[in-house]
């Protein structure tokens, strides 16, 4: 998950609109692939050069360009010029710390989102910056890292199933964002499982590691929350939009997507409540254990301290101690001490300390 | 209660509108029953095939179809086609994790709610997904599990009492949702009783089990809250709706229903406050007990530690210890020790440690 | 105070508008009394039969009916029919768990409120359900229990002082609600006194009983808050209302009443803050006391444990222990032990443990 | 600071608009003083009788009446009649528990505020009820206690500096409220100093008194917050007002005043955050100290308990204990015990308990 | 960072609009420098006298005046008169405790912001009051302390890169505020790094110093939050403004700036959540350590206390103690004690206390 303190490499005071990549440094080459389709046509993905990534003159269908990598600033600038994008849009595409947002411009929309996936190497959540620019007949998809998350959409396009081939770039944008939001559910399931595990652990065997795990899950939920809240705004803004770029038919689907983002938010908030409850139980469990330990100490001390005093008394070396010479002095002391122990034990039992 | 991390079986990126059942797996057959009524007519429930579940050509009354089970995707699709439902609606009917919502379409409304009941087997809350689709002359009621919750409504229909026979599908929908919301009160009563019991328990005899019960009730309240909050939105949206499908007369009843949902929300929030207070008392009780135990330890130790030291002194084997040879040395030591004990006890009493 | 889990006797799924009394069971007879007045006339209260409780044909003044008891469903139904009340209104009058609300109907308003009084028998707060129905020339006041809270209003009517005789049913309604809200101040004063007492107690002598009292006051504040928040909405709705039933002159008084409800809410919230602060101090006080006890234990143990060890050394029975035969061995040990005690005491003093 | 539970002497159910003084009882006589000024004229303050306190027939300037005391109900009524004030306004003037509010009437505005000052006798905050009524050509200032807070305004009037002489009653009202809000800054500075002092104290030397001071400051902030929040509403309402009584030029000053009230609110909220943080540190400091004490006890006990056991062993009186007769038995035991101590000390050091 | 309780030197009740410097006392001379530029012209910064700081008669470009110091009241007054600024604006410029705000006047805007920088001397955050006044053809920048934060903007102006030379005073104002907001990111990075360090520290080695650092970071976040929240309002007000002084082209950049302020707010809130979590872990870690210490004490005490009692028994001096004369008495006692130790150890192990 992106650290909260991610370094923004752009120097403070730099010219706005200056395109600077601010994510981790990378040297992998950036490829641009293109899929063209319409209701009755589908061209399989092919690699194109950044220069070829430009609006199709008279689009009868949709051209979907995927740019897998935002660290090559020159390529972004070339594409930005081809499509006439505002310099701030190109800056936001390369800024991997950009919050989700929707911005409307003349002839196109810019949409920034966060994709959450599991990083198998570090077993941590990974937040990826995904930008979409869409207009009449084209969709530009900018990915921070290459990945195959959107394969099902390509398959649906190829198979020609569902509404996707007959619809325009607005529906494709919806399908892309829907796929991203669906991934949140996978991540939430995983976190939900870990919370259930933690709830068992805090009761049965709370350790310092449990506490760290609770805090770790809490951090992940804070990060998720931070990504999904603005997403809701984004989808809502698309629904309320009145430009012809988003058709009425697609808005029904966006309403459904909005519902999903609310569901995610709801789950995140519920999980935050649950993890807070788990922390409470953890602290109580730890304190209960201390309690139990203290009680044993008290009971043992409280019984043996008077007994030790008694045997100390008869260890004194006074010349005139009549008890020491009694025939039954020793057994009598034993009897007295045993009786005392029972009295004390009964007392503690009655006070429910045992 | 539905786990927060309920697995959504639908693969991420699947086509929207694809109908996939996501609840627990089931093999029980799904039955569709139909009741037809109007002001002067009532046909008792009869089982119909999914194909027969279709709009009545010229409805003079209301046809109420109950589909008890949403795990048979084919049946849902058939019914969806018969009534011309949007694919997303059919998807939401089969998605048992769907949040409560109201969506208006041309000619019909889709309403998703959560029914909360007690599962007698596990003595846990059970959240059931209930969907209602209503339009001119028909109501489709989709239940996750078969159940007889709505028997009183059938009885009222049969008896012809109240407004229900003269009213349309909007009133029946209201009656169904009202029955569901009424069940929340039953569940709340039960939780309220348990909270009162807990409040006694935390004061008289707090155990680790008490803490778990507190957390359990807290979880249930979080779940209830999650179900009922969107319900308020649903009812409010119905009241504010301006389509002819919901008549003005029914809106007076919906206003009353809205009031009930606010009442439920209010009770849930109050109970959350109370259970938090209970947790505070629990923690204080536990700490008070520790306190009491510590005080006894202190008092016993603080009295016997000096005494044990004194008897240790006279247990030393020095050749020249004048006290050991005194005639009244032994009784004098006893007197001194008894006096010391009383002084210490008085001191502790004054400091209110006893 | 009404328990949160008050049993709603109405079976779930019962017909809406069915009038069912849901409070504690009662058998006392319900009486209906009537006061009629106008600017120049005042008829003393007289008992009327439920059938006589009906709109006066051509009202020149106001007819104020008080129905003291809502457990006799038949009487409520009769009156409801006489005044043409909606069945839901009659249901809400008999439902003592009804939240405060205002509902406008053709020709009359329905207003549900909660009256808070002290129950002298249980020294607990008692929440009473009070409903008012008012229209042109009549006010119906439904009380859960007979009581003389509104005597000052009757006196003002009789004396003809103030605006009350010249004004209509809207002003009388305002006067009734104002009297109810004024009672909240009395209850708040009492709670405020108890909080001040608690604040002294937690510092001087915190006991387990103190904790229970804190929790009890917290509960009462939660209940008060629950009653007064919707009251604000009710008064606000009356001010914003544009029907001729509420005159402009009365709205100035309602604005003042609104101010009072805000004042009550404000005080309740402030008291919640204070009681939370009291709980914090309680917990700290308890922990401070434990701290003090622990310190004494530590000091005593830490001084006597080494001393006891020393005397133990010279209690050993080795044949070759040169010290035992020294002439000044015994006094030397005493000197050493006294010196050690002072060193340890000085050390603890410097560390501020004493 | 006014207690939250201040007794409202007015009996519940009393006629609204009945003027009853509800503050602490007082017998000091109430004086009314009058200042008249216009752009080119200034009459020094003179004492007038309540009857003379009436609108000036054709005002060319402003008449500023100061009534220092609201406990003489008759005087308030007389003035109220002279200026044609609504009975509720006169009631609110005498009600010292009234929350800040602004109410517009025909021809005049009523403004209730709270002045916060330090009471030198009790070194506590004192909240004073200040009411202002202003209209064309007059300002009535009602003070709960006589005081010289507004002397700088009189001086500015006399000196004729600034805009004040040329402006109307709206500017004078602004100047009065501005002076009151400025006093909040003085009080906040003082509280801020005390918080800084507390922050040092909780770290260096936390005592039970520190806790009480924290709670005391918290209470004061709660009271301040309660007074200043509605003040913001009041100023905002004056800015948004569209009557000719508040001129556009004065609104620029009111905007500035609004800014000041927001600044006060902001500071109060920040201080609440800080004082809560201080409480956290206090609790941690106390627990840290307990921790340290516990550690010393553990280390001493854990070292001396085994040693005491060892010397006890050789204090046993068995006839056949070979060690007792060894030549080097005694030194060997000493050596062993010293070695054991060092081993234990090293162990504790490694575990970082020392 | 400005203390919350910063002393406002202006006496309460002073005339509004009176210009009083309220920051730390300073004697450094205030310099005014001027940069003039248009699309095709750029004049390097030159020092001008306060009198020369006045609107350019017929501005073809922009005159940017930087006043580095607000403690010389006379200079501020002179400039204020030259540009016809409202007295309240000049007062707010000199008031270094002024909250960020935007105020529109005829012909110019006044904008107050807070610049956050690191003070290298005290390694603390420093909040600096920065005011901007801009109108047709001029920008006045008032700095509390001289500094070179805006050098990059001067460089861009000189180089003629970007839009800055072709744009008006609105764009320059945007660029100045953008540079200030960018500095927040630097500060946040630094705080983020410290939080990560703290998160490691609380787990590995929590000390009292850790707690103080946590509190210190918390304070800094509270201060940051206080500065940035009103900033969002300021930028939002500029976007929504409809005067010709802010052009449509600049509003696109302001939207981007708004986005940045939301990002800062978001990060501050997230960090507050994280630091709270860190505090929780700290407290748990400390309590865990105490727990561990207690367990060792219990185990050692619980084993040695019975053993010491046993050896005490055989240290008694009774004449008739048969065991003392047994041949194998001494080894038998040793065996018994060793066995007892193992039994107790096994018991503690089973209870998971070790």
Read off the CATH number of the domain in which D194 is found.
Answer: 3.30.460.20
CB count within 10 Å of CB B338 equals 11
Assigned domain for A123 exists: yes
Which C residues 295-324 touch B at CB under 8 Å? 296-297, 300-301, 304-305, 307-308, 311-312, 314-317, 321, 323-324
Cβ contact, residue pair E219, D274, below 8 Å: yes
pLDDT at residue E220 is higher than 80? yes
Answer whether A196 touches B (CB < 8 Å). yes
Assigned domain for E176 exists: yes
Contacts of B264 (CB under 8 A, 6+ apart): B181, B184, B185, B188, B224, B228, B231
pLDDT at residue B60 is higher than 80? no
Residue D175's pLDDT band (cuts 50, 70, 90) = very high
Chain C residues with CB inside 8 Å of B182's CB? 8, 10, 12-14
β pairing state of A108-119 and A124-135 = antiparallel
Assigned domain for E18 exists: no
Q: Based on the domain organization, do B46 and B190 belong to the same domain?
A: yes
**CATH classification at residue B341:** 1.20.58.340
Answer whether A220 touches E (CB < 8 Å). no
Q: Based on the domain organization, do C188 and C58 belong to the same domain?
A: yes
Assigned domain for D13 exists: no
Tell me what pLDDT residue B63 has. Answer: 92
Residue-by-residue pLDDT tens, chain C, 354 positions: 444 444 444 555 566 666 667 666 677 888 899 999 988 888 888 899 888 888 887 667 899 999 998 888 889 999 999 999 998 899 999 988 888 999 888 889 999 999 988 776 777 888 899 999 999 989 999 998 877 778 888 888 888 777 888 888 999 999 999 999 988 988 898 898 889 889 888 877 788 788 888 888 988 898 899 889 999 999 999 998 888 889 888 998 999 899 999 999 999 999 998 898 888 888 888 777 777 777 777 788 888 888 988 888 888 888 888 888 888 888 888 899 999 999 988 988 887 766
- Which of the pair, A208 or D89, is modelled with greater confidence? D89
Domain residues for the domain of C295 are 290-350
Assigned domain for C51 exists: yes
Tell me what pLDDT residue D264 has. Answer: 92
Residue A177's pLDDT band (cuts 50, 70, 90) = very high
- Which of the pair, E109 or A292, is modelled with greater confidence? E109
Answer whether B118 touches C (CB < 8 Å). no
The DSSP H or E segment spanning D303 is helix D248-313
CB E249 within 8 A of CB E303: no
Q: Nearest-5° angle of CA E30, CA E33, CA E36? A: 160
Which of A254, A284, A314 corresponds to the end of one domain?
Answer: A284
Residue B155's pLDDT band (cuts 50, 70, 90) = confident
Cβ contact, residue pair B266, C14, below 8 Å: no
Average pLDDT score over residue span E255-269: 91
CB C239 within 8 A of CB C258: yes
Assigned domain for B21 exists: no
Average pLDDT score over residue span E153-171: 85
Whole-number Å distance between alpha carbons of D76 and A229: 56
Residue A112's pLDDT band (cuts 50, 70, 90) = very high
Q: How many CB pairs under 8 A join A and E?
A: 172
Sole residue written with tokens 């046509």: A41
- Token couple for C198: 């608690």
Tell me what pLDDT residue A292 has. Answer: 77
Which E residues 224-263 touch A at CB under 8 Å? 252-253, 255-256, 259, 262-263
- Number of structural domains chain D divides into: 2
Cβ contact, residue pair A291, B294, below 8 Å: no
pLDDT at residue A9 is higher than 50? no
Sole residue written with tokens 């540009």: E83
Assigned domain for B26 exists: no
Q: Based on the domain organization, do C170 and C255 belong to the same domain?
A: yes
Which residue from A185, A285, A301 is facing B8, i.e. has the nearest CB?
Answer: A185
Assigned domain for A15 exists: no
Tell me what pLDDT residue C8 has. Answer: 47
Sole residue written with tokens 């005593």: C300
Tell me what pLDDT residue E156 has. Answer: 87
Cβ contact, residue pair C4, B192, below 8 Å: yes
Whole-number Å distance between alpha carbons of E113 and E226: 11
Answer whether E277 touches A (CB < 8 Å). yes
Q: Based on the domain organization, do B273 and B345 belong to the same domain?
A: no
pLDDT at residue E111 is higher than 50? yes
Task: Report, in this order, helix, strand and coil percent for chain A, each rounded to 5.
Answer: 55, 15, 30
Answer whether A333 touches B (CB < 8 Å). no
Tell me what pLDDT residue A295 has. Answer: 77
Q: How many CB pairs under 8 A join A and B?
A: 169
User: Which 8-state DSSP code applies to residue A63?
Assistant: E
Tell me what pLDDT residue B32 has. Answer: 92
CA distance C353 to chain B (A): 16
Whole-number Å distance between alpha carbons of D314 and B343: 33
The DSSP H or E segment spanning A178 is helix A169-204
Q: Based on the domain organization, do C239 and C315 belong to the same domain?
A: no
Tell me what pLDDT residue E55 has. Answer: 86
Residue A10's pLDDT band (cuts 50, 70, 90) = low
Which of A264, A284, A304 corresponds to the end of one domain?
Answer: A284
- Residues B180-193: tens digit of each pLDDT: 998 898 889 889 98
Average pLDDT score over residue span D95-100: 88
Chain A residues with CB inside 8 Å of E252's CB? 86, 88
> DSSP of A297-320, one letter per residue?
HHHHHHHHHHHHHHHHHTT---S-
Q: Based on the domain organization, do E236 and E263 belong to the same domain?
A: yes
Q: Based on the domain organization, do E205 and E346 belong to the same domain?
A: no
- Token couple for D305: 């308990």
Tell me what pLDDT residue C109 has. Answer: 93
pLDDT at residue D210 is higher than 90? no
CA distance A177 to chain E (A): 21
Tell me what pLDDT residue A7 has. Answer: 40
CA distance D221 to chain E (A): 14
Average pLDDT score over residue span A60-74: 89
CA distance D92 to chain C (A): 9
Q: Which of B170, B185, B186 has the alpha carbon at shortest distance from B262?
A: B185
Chain A residue with Cα closest to B95: A260
Average pLDDT score over residue span E211-222: 88
Cβ contact, residue pair B88, A253, below 8 Å: yes
> Rounded mean pLDDT of chain A?
85
Whole-number Å distance between alpha carbons of C11 and B185: 10
Which E residues 23-52 touch A at CB under 8 Å? none
Instruction: Classify C13 in phi/psi space as left (phi over 0), alpha (psi -120 to 50) or beta.
Output: left
Whole-number Å distance between alpha carbons of E136 and E37: 13
- Residues A25-43: tens digit of each pLDDT: 677 788 899 999 988 888 8
Q: Based on the domain organization, do D304 and D273 belong to the same domain?
A: no
- Token couple for E113: 């912001």
Task: Report, in this order, helix, strand and coil percent for chain E, each rounded to 5.
Answer: 55, 15, 30
Which of B265, B284, B303 corresponds to the end of one domain?
Answer: B284
Which residue from C290, C294, C311 is facing B309, i.e. has the nearest CB?
Answer: C311
Average pLDDT score over residue span E319-348: 87
Answer whether D184 touches E (CB < 8 Å). no
Answer whether D75 touches E (CB < 8 Å). no
> DSSP of D213-276, one letter per residue?
HHHHHHHHHHHHHHHHHHHHHHHHHHHH--STTS-HHHHHHHHHHHHHHHHHHHHHHHHHHHHH
Q: Based on the domain organization, do D276 and D306 belong to the same domain?
A: no
Tell me what pLDDT residue E44 has. Answer: 85
Answer whether C346 touches B (CB < 8 Å). no
C-alpha E118 chain-centroid distance: 9
Q: Based on the domain organization, do C156 and C229 belong to the same domain?
A: yes
- Token couple for B153: 């409504």
- Residues E28-50: tens digit of each pLDDT: 888 899 999 988 888 888 899 88
Report percent pLDDT > 90 for chain D: 28
Answer whether A12 touches E (CB < 8 Å). yes
Q: Based on the domain organization, do D81 and D153 belong to the same domain?
A: yes
Whole-number Å distance between alpha carbons of E354 and E349: 6
Q: Based on the domain organization, do D268 and D195 belong to the same domain?
A: yes
Cβ contact, residue pair D4, C288, below 8 Å: no
């Amino acid at each position: 998950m992106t650290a909260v303190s991610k370094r923004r490499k752009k120097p403070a005071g730099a010219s706005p609109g200056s395109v600077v990549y601010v994510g981790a440094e990378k040297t992998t080459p950036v490829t641009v692939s293109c899929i063209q389709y319409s209701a009755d046509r589908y061209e399989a993905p092919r690699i194109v050069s950044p220069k070829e990534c430009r609006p199709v003159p008279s689009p009868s269908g949709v051209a979907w360009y995927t740019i897998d990598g935002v660290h090559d600033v020159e390529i972004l600038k070339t594409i930005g010029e081809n499509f006439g994008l505002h310099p701030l849009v190109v800056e936001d595409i390369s800024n991997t710390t950009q919050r989700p947002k929707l911005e409307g411009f003349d002839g196109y929309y810019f949409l920034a989102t966060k994709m959450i996936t599991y990083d198998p190497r570090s077993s941590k959540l990974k937040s990826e910056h995904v930008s979409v620019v869409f207009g009449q007949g084209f969709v530009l998809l900018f990915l921070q890292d290459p990945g195959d998350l959107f394969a099902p959409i390509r398959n649906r396009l190829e198979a020609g199933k569902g509404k996707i081939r007959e619809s325009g770039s607005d529906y494709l944008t919806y399908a892309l964002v829907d796929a991203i939001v669906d991934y949140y559910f996978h991540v939430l399931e995983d976190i939900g499982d870990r919370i259930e595990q933690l709830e068992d652990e805090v009761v049965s065997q709370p350790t310092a590691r449990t506490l760290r795990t609770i805090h770790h899950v809490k951090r992940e939920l804070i990060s998720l929350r931070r990504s999904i809240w603005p997403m809701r705004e984004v989808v809502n803004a698309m629904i309320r939009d009145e430009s012809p770029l988003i058709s009425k038919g697609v808005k029904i689907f966006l309403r459904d997507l909005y519902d999903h983002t609310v569901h995610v938010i709801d789950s995140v908030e519920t999980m935050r409540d649950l993890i807070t409850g788990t922390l409470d139980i953890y602290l109580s469990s730890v304190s209960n254990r201390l309690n139990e330990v203290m009680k044993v100490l008290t009971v043992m001390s409280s019984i043996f301290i008077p007994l030790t005093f008694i045997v100390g008394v008869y260890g004194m070396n006074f010349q005139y101690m009549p008890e020491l010479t009694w025939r039954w002095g020793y057994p009598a002391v034993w009897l007295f001490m045993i009786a005392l122990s029972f009295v004390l034990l009964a007392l503690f039992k009655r006070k429910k300390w045992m």
